[in-house]
């Protein structure tokens, strides 16, 4: 995401998207810069935090939280706190580190948007080989792609639609997904990335889907759960949300899978950009009691995770 000064910022939203931003996100072009400056001032006062404070970075956080200053402020803090607390995911974070995930076809960004204007990601965890790389590669790669999508102002307003294709997933793979990994993934998706997660489709769910979904659902907010659709092997509901002409053939569409090569090439060429972003974050700050309590709770949850980690394969 390019760093620009407030005076050089140019809104790229279409007229329709700007109207949607006003209607749904409480965005006012006349006070937009004031809102950014207010958030910037608050962040500059956080002890130990070296945050990016340019308008291109802060505006997505305001939009993601409907220009509620308190919620946007907390979202930025979450963004940097999770980087400090999960080094196994965020250390040396850049696209070249997830090249193998992209090459394996686990995540795809479609060329076209859905009927609501959302960017569409297709995730295929059944293609993941746990003998080759760890489950942490899933939240790492998803985060990186989503962080790249944040650059698109249209996506900031309309949000993201995720299609999780579970064809080919096995109990062996599920056995590697404990509560810790599930919590990290859900936390990143709903509490860290400054994008609106508008719809989440599961397709081709296996017979043991309830086991898999239980691991993740315990960490989901009710708002996210209500946006989940279970499709099985029928894509009628999915096609109601997106023109099948724009979907890949394995989802009942007309496009070849992994057709959006231009976007992936742009993503894979942005190592330098992410390396620069990695220079920001918490330098030093004692975790407050609330955060420590959260970690203690997580430890307890991990203790409950043995049931899932010891599945008979």
pLDDT digits (tens, 9 = 90+) for 12-30: 999 999 999 999 999 999 9
User: Which pLDDT belongs to residue 311?
Assistant: 39
Please tell me which of 129-143, 145-159, 292-306 the model is most confident about, judged by mean pLDDT: 145-159
pLDDT at 169 over 50: yes
Could you read off the pLDDT of 211-253 as tens digits, one per residue?
A: 999 999 999 999 999 999 999 999 999 999 999 999 999 999 9
120-129 average pLDDT score? 96
Q: Is the pLDDT of residue 312 over 70?
A: no
Instruction: Please report which confidence band the pLDDT of residue 299 belongs to, taking 50, 70 and 90 as the band edges.
Output: very low
| Integer Cα distance of 177 and 137 in angstroms | 12
Measured CA angle at 105 (ends 103, 110), to 5 deg: 115
Contact 187, 197 (CB under 8 A): no
- What's the whole-model pTM score? 0.88
Rounded to an integer, the average pLDDT of 91-115 is: 95
CATH class of this structure's domain 92-268: alpha beta
106, two tokens: 């686990």
Angstrom distance (rounded) from CA 16 to CA 103: 36
How far is residue 159's CA from residue 20's CA, in Å, rounded to a whole number? 12
Domain ranges within the chain, ordered by starting residue: 15-85, 92-268
**Where does the pLDDT of residue 284 fall: very low under 50, low under 70, confident under 90, or very high at 90 and above?**
low
- Other beta carbons within 10 Å of 4: 13
CATH architecture of 15-85: Orthogonal Bundle (1.10)
What pLDDT is attached to residue 158? 98
Give the mean pLDDT of 108-121.
Answer: 97
Cross-strand bridge partners of residue 32 = none
């Amino acid at each position: 995401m390019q760093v620009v000064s407030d005076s050089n910022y140019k809104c790229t939203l279409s007229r329709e998207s700007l109207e949607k931003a006003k209607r749904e996100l409480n965005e006012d072009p006349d006070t937009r810069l004031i809102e950014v400056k207010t958030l910037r001032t608050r962040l500059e006062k956080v002890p130990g935090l070296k945050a990016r404070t340019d308008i291109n970075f802060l505006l997505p956080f305001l939009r993601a939280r409907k220009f509620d200053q308190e919620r946007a402020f907390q979202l930025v803090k979450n963004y940097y706190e999770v980087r400090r607390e999960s080094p196994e995911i965020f250390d040396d974070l850049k696209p070249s580190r997830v090249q193998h995930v992209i090459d394996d076809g686990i995540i795809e960004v479609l060329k076209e948007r859905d009927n609501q204007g959302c960017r569409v990601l297709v995730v295929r965890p059944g293609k993941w080989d746990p003998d080759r790389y760890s489950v942490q590669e899933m939240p790492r790669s998803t985060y990186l792609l989503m962080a790249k999508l944040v650059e698109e102002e249209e996506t900031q307003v309309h949000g993201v639609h995720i299609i999780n294709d579970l064809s080919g997933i096995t109990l062996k793979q599920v056995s590697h997904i404990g509560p810790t990994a599930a919590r990290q993934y859900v936390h990143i998706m709903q509490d860290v990335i400054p994008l609106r997660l508008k719809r989440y489709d599961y397709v081709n769910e296996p017979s043991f889907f309830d086991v898999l979904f239980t691991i993740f659902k315990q960490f989901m907010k009710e708002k996210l759960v209500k946006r989940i659709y279970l499709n099985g092997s029928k894509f009628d509901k999915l096609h109601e949300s997106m023109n099948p002409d724009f979907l890949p053939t394995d989802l009942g569409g007309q496009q070849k899978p992994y057709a959006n090569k231009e976007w992936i090439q742009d993503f894979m060429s942005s190592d330098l950009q992410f390396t620069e972003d990695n220079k920001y974050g918490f330098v030093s700050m004692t975790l407050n009691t609330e955060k420590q309590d959260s970690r203690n709770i997580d430890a307890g949850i991990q203790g409950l995770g043995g049931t899932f980690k010891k599945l008979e394969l």
